[in-house]
Amino acid sequence: MSEFAAEKSVGLVDSFGRGITYARLSVTDRCDLRCRYCMAERMQFLPKREILTFEEMTALADILITRGVRKIRLTGGEPLVRKGVMELIRSLGRRIGAGLDELVLTTNGTRLERFAGELFEAGIRRINVSLDSRRPDRFAHITRGGDLNQVLRGIDAALTAGLAVKINVVALAGINEDEIEDMLRWCAAMAVDLTLIETMPLGEVEEDRTDHYLPLDVVKRRLEQQFTFVPSVKKTGGPARYFDIPELQSQLGIITPLTNNFCDGCNRIRIAATGTVYGCLGHDQKVELRDALRCGGAQAVDELMDRLLAGKPRRHEFRIGGAPAVARHMSVTGG
How confident is the model over 107-133, as pLDDT tens digits?
Answer: 999 999 999 999 999 999 999 999 999
Please report, for the chain, the start and end positions of each structural domain, with discontinuous segments joined by +. 22-333
Q: Model confidence at 1, in pLDDT bands (50, 70, 90)?
A: low
Binding residues for GTP, as ranges, are: 24, 73, 106, 166, 268-270
Annotated binding-site residues for [4Fe-4S] cluster read 31, 35, 38, 263, 266, 280
pLDDT value of position 61: 97
Which positions make up the binding site?
24, 31, 35, 37-38, 73, 77, 106, 130, 166, 200, 263, 266, 268-270, 280
- Is there a contact between 318 and 200 (Cβ–Cβ < 8 Å)? yes
Confidence check: pLDDT of 241 > 80: yes
Distance, in Å, from the CA atom of 79 to the CA atom of 334, rounded to the nearest integer, reads: 9
Rounded to whole angstroms, the Cα distance separating 172 from 18 reads: 32
86 has a pLDDT exceeding 50: yes
Query: How does residue 334 score in pLDDT terms, banded at 50, 70 and 90?
Result: low
Q: Write the burial class of residue 94 (CB in 10 Å: 0-12 exposed, 13-18 middle, 19+ buried).
A: middle
Q: What average pLDDT does the structure give for the chain? A: 87
Matching CATH number, 22-333, of 3.40.50.720, 3.30.479.30, 3.40.630.30, 3.20.20.70: 3.20.20.70
Residue 332 has pLDDT above 50, yes or no: yes
Write down the pLDDT at residue 199.
82
244-275 pLDDT per residue, tens = 999 999 999 998 865 555 556 688 899 999 99
131: which residues sit within 8 A by CB, 6+ positions away? Answer: 109, 139, 151, 155, 167, 168, 169
Q: Flag whether pLDDT at 324 surpasses 80.
A: no
Return binding residues for S-adenosyl-L-methionine. 37, 77, 130, 200
pLDDT at 59: 97
- Entry pTM: 0.87
pLDDT at 139 over 70: yes
Side-chain-facing half-sphere of 17: CA atoms under 13 Å = 1
Q: How does residue 184 score in pLDDT terms, banded at 50, 70 and 90?
A: very high
